[in-house]
Amino acid sequence: MATKKNIKTKTEPKEGGNFALGKENYKLLLIGFAIIVLGFILMSGGGSDNPNVFSKDIFSFRRITLAPIVVLFGFIFEIYAIMKKPKA
């Protein structure tokens, strides 16, 4: 009958502690978050002070096209920041 030996391997923690991601990944995540916030800032505004008056400013290129593209790019950048492997 064969016996199994419990072999324990010692793993050295990566540089920077026991964080799930590396330092560069967290920097990229902050940059992506800033891009998303910028997109939402671009979406803001365009309303009218008087609720009885319609303002066409809400349908500007910046709010309808540019801002959603910026937000989408920010989310894609966040995925990249999470998936990027830290340098050894």
- Please report the DSSP string for 39-75 in residue order: HHHHH-----SSTTS--GGGG-HIIIIIHHHHHHHHH
End-to-end CA distance of the chain: 42
How is the chain split into domains, by residue range?
A: 23-83
Instruction: Return d(Cα 41, Cα 34) in angstroms, integer.
Output: 10
Instruction: Return d(Cα 32, Cα 50) in angstroms, integer.
Output: 36
Six-digit token string for 8: 């324990």
* Tens of each residue's pLDDT in the chain, 88 residues: 566 666 666 655 555 567 788 899 999 999 999 999 999 999 998 777 888 888 888 889 999 999 999 999 999 999 999 999 877 6
Give pTM, 2 decimals.
0.74
